[in-house]
Amino acid sequence: MSIQPGEKLVFGAPSTLSDRLTHYCPGCHHGIGTRLVAEVLEEFGCIKETIGVASVGCSVFTYNYIVADWVEAAHGRACATATGVKRARPDRMVFTYQGDGDLAAIGFNESVQAANRGEHITVIFVNNTIYGMTGGQMAPTSLIGQKTTTSPRGRNPKKEGAPLRMAELLAPLDGVAFSARCAMDSVAHVNAAKRAIRKAFDVQRQNLGFGFVELLSGCPTNLHMDPLSANRRVREEMIPYFPLGVFKDVTANEKAGA
Amino acid sequence: MSDERILIKGNEAVAYAAVSAGCKCFFGYPITPQNEIPEVLSKILPESGGEFVQAESEVGSANMLLGAGACGVRAMTSTSGPGIDLMQEGISYMIGSQIPAVIVNMSRGGPGLGSIDASQADYFQATRGGSHGAGRTFVFAPSTCQECYDMVQDAFDIAFKYRTPVLVLGDAIIGQLKEPVLRHAPRNKQDDKAEGWRVEGMGDRAPRLLKSVYLEDGALAARNEMLEAKYKAMRADIRVETIDTEDADLVVVAFGSMGRIARSAVQLAREAGHKVGLFRPQTLFPFPSEQLEELAKQGKRFLVIEQNAGQMLDDVRLAIRHYADADFFGVMPGIFVDAEELLTPILERMGGAK
């Protein structure tokens, strides 16, 4: 975008973000999450030494938006592939960007085991309680009673179990240096998400362990809502079940202990 | 590294060969009969500056392998049949994304949990592309501990030459057998030439993406045409051992552990005055079809011996189909045979001549 005479640029995109339209639906929060990661990588000045690991789902095309070297992982295996990348190149910043079906269902084992090994990688986990790319099926994080194309009567905890709270599940593992849950439904929440993402990359920079941020997101298309209603759902239905907060921060403990 | 002759198992030869070939990352999950490979590597790989990771599963191993290979690093995993089943996903993605890696299968009996005894029943899985989407891997078939050593070294070169996963298909006999092995530095180690494609952080160049998804009109077709051309190009690296085939009336075709037993059986037949030769493919994909066809043109007869119900038999028949057919003698996985037992079917085909 060029600045015309008499115009002043008051808000731009980070240089780490490509200048192209995303494939995300209107009202989807993926665009915000992708941008926040791009901003942090720009601020850390490490984009030239960064390797992204793409997942499968709506998140797959993140490699089209964050300008860096990328390798595409199989569905759910991003944390295993990132393990291989980081072990081969421990001097590089390595991150994954995954959705809920990818990280918490098919890739649950790879995710938890990488976290438990304390792999020095950063994992950004977008939780919108539904499979987006495949058209709205039940996710491991779908809320109780949530109707999806594969839970037409609503998620029944007696049959489908309760939604997985990944940020809390990972936090107690010794290998995890940082685990937080944030949301992207309001400016205040987006700002908090940015701080958490910074931290999740910072613990990698310091070789402290696994950095994890769960980002609650709307999915208007598959929830059959307009964007504002999907936003409201994050606040009124998701956050009560998926509380926001930092569940582990080894740097905070160090400070407290000092 | 100075050359040194030591008495080791095939599995140990695989491990030592990997380090000497410059393997920097190993990812593996325990399974019999290949456990010496990760056990030895867990000791010697970190000592040589490499990374050893015991993965959570073979699914994990294969996808870690993909990540390390994407960085242009020499990386390896090893397993046995059931583990290869779980690795097929990663193998398919590595083929599609053109990521080099070495995968060792010290195969065992199946289907299912099967047994831990020797088996050649993974031939189809290894050579047909065991995963979805028509991908093929280059396949070496060692029949001695020395070949385990040499072929694992060469497997890394082939993996980078063609940017592809390479399988080394042994079995419980090859893995557990102890033989003298000459340890040596790679004879002609190739330059990996990974600078042009690996992910490493983009620095000041344009960003790179290693992927296997091709959604645009015609893009996947073009990708597969390129891969098919690559499989054809791999034929330049076909290897086969032939013994006494020139004047042979009957050519015994066998690979891997059965290849070595068949070699002894062919020797016994020769000593008894029968014109028998051995054709032992050392690469199973690509398969030495032209070499076999040449022998068929000369009017020779063929006997395929495998430790399965007839798998390589298909490739032999395809190779010689214009000139001859092949006879088959199968040994079921888990049954151990010696050269004397293989001599019987050979002599039967010789019609008791002499």
B221 pLDDT more than 50: yes
The domain ranges of chain A are 30-257
pLDDT at B263: 98
Q: What residues in A contact B200, CB-CB < 8 Å?
A: 51, 69, 89, 92
* Closest CA–CA distance from residue B284 to any residue of chain A (Å): 27
- Across the interface, of A48, A60, A77, the residue whose CB is closest to B202 is A48
CB burial string B284-320: b at 16+ within 10 A, e below: bbbbbbebbbebbeeebbbbbbbbbeebbbbbbbebb
Dihedral over alpha carbons B14, B34, A87, A60 (to 10 degrees): 120
Substitution target from B71, B77, B198, B214 for chain A, most A beta carbons within 10 A: B71
Any idea what the Cα angle at residue A163 is, between residues A161 and A169, rounded to 5°?
Answer: 110
Sign of the torsion formed by the C-alpha atoms of B84, B86, B90 and B92: positive
CATH topology of domain A30-257: Rossmann fold (3.40.50)
Which residues of chain A, if any, have pLDDT below 70?
1, 253-258
Structure confidence by residue, pLDDT tens digits, B92-101: 999 999 999 9
Closest CA to A85 of B65, B181, B137, B178: B65
* Closest CA–CA distance from residue A35 to any residue of chain B (Å): 17
pLDDT at A1: 61
Residue of B nearest to A116 (CA): B56
pLDDT at B1: 60
Asked if B200's CB is within 8 angstroms of A70's CB, the reply is no
* CATH 3.40.50.970 location in chain B: 4-236
B69 pLDDT more than 50: yes
pLDDT at B12: 98
pLDDT at A256: 53
B157 pLDDT more than 70: yes
Asked if A67's CB is within 8 angstroms of B210's CB, the reply is no
Asked if B67's CB is within 8 angstroms of A70's CB, the reply is no
Q: Where are the alpha helices (DSSP H) in chain A?
A: 30-43, 78-88, 100, 108-117, 157-160, 166-170, 187-205, 220-223, 227-233, 239-241, 250-257
At which residue do the structure tokens 């060692």 appear? B142
* CATH 3.40.50.920 location in chain B: 242-349
Asked if B202's CB is within 8 angstroms of A47's CB, the reply is yes
pLDDT band at B79 (very low <50, low <70, confident <90, very high): very high
Residue of B nearest to A62 (CA): B209
Asked if A92's CB is within 8 angstroms of B75's CB, the reply is no
pLDDT at B353: 46
Q: How far apart are CA A199 and CA A178, in angstroms?
A: 7
**Percent above pLDDT 70 for chain B:** 99
pLDDT band at B271 (very low <50, low <70, confident <90, very high): very high
Residue of B nearest to A45 (CA): B203
Sign of the torsion formed by the C-alpha atoms of A226, A232, A236 and A239: positive
pLDDT at B354: 47
pLDDT at A258: 44
Residue of B nearest to A54 (CA): B211
Average pLDDT of chain B to the nearest whole number: 96
B352 pLDDT more than 70: no
Report chain B's terminal Cα–Cα distance, integer Å.
Answer: 51
- The predicted complex's ipTM stands at 0.96
Substitution target from A87, A109, A110, A121 for chain B, most B beta carbons within 10 A: A87
Q: Which CATH number fits domain B242-349: 3.30.200.20, 3.40.50.920, 1.10.10.10, 3.30.70.330?
A: 3.40.50.920
Q: What residues in B contact A50, CB-CB < 8 Å?
A: 201
Q: What residues in B contact A41, CB-CB < 8 Å?
A: none
Q: What residues in A contact B66, CB-CB < 8 Å?
A: 71, 73-74, 77, 81, 84
Using DSSP, state whether B229 is helix, strand or coil: helix
CATH of domain B4-236: 3.40.50.970
Residue of A nearest to B202 (CA): A48
Q: What residues in B contact A47, CB-CB < 8 Å?
A: 202
